[in-house]
Amino acid sequence: MGMSVGSDSTHEDEGIVDINTTPLIDVMLVLLIMLIITIPLQTHSVAIDLPQGNPPPSTVQPKLVTVSIGYDNSISWNNEPITSEASLQAHFQAAAAMPDQPEMHIHPDRLADYKTVAHVMADAQRLGMTKLGIVGLDQFMEGQ
């Protein structure tokens, strides 16, 4: 490795003072290959007993309660108009107290206030209803 030291040289041939990285790259490649070779292959398998075939369909139909919220924010329980907040809460408490709690489908109209829908859902959850769902969302799709 030749390198000229001193300021009195007027030659154009000055030595390169950069570090040679070729040996470092070679060492890193060798270490990488050794690491790849020594990693064990993941050939272990786990035996899982999966069910075979189709299960028979359920013969018991779930109980269903439909709470509709109209365009004028009127609330109905299975097509019966609800006139007061206390009546709605009584319906929720009676449904939540059943041993086999019914599914509650909330069907809001497109023009119903969000406040009313959120209030009905919050009351249902607060009073113990656990099977809630909003149906009829196709009316909110674009272009309809």
* Tokens encoding 7: 């300021």
Q: Which amino acid is at 16?
A: I
CA angle 121, 73, 135 (to 5 degrees): 50
Buried b or exposed e, range 103-114, using 16+ CB within 10 angstroms: ebbbbbbeebee
* Mode of pairing for the β-strands spanning 75-77 and 64-69: antiparallel
Q: In the prediction, which pLDDT does 142 show?
A: 67
Residue 99's alpha-carbon distances to 26, 60, 94, 132, 144, in angstroms, are: 73, 15, 10, 16, 40
- Those residues of the chain that have pLDDT short of 50 are 1
- Spatial distance between the Cα atoms of 102 and 63, rounded to a whole number of angstroms: 5
* The length of the chain, given as a count of residues: 144
Q: What is the pLDDT of residues 123-132, one digit of tens each?
A: 999 988 888 8
* Tokens encoding 141: 């799709």
**How much is the pTM?**
0.55
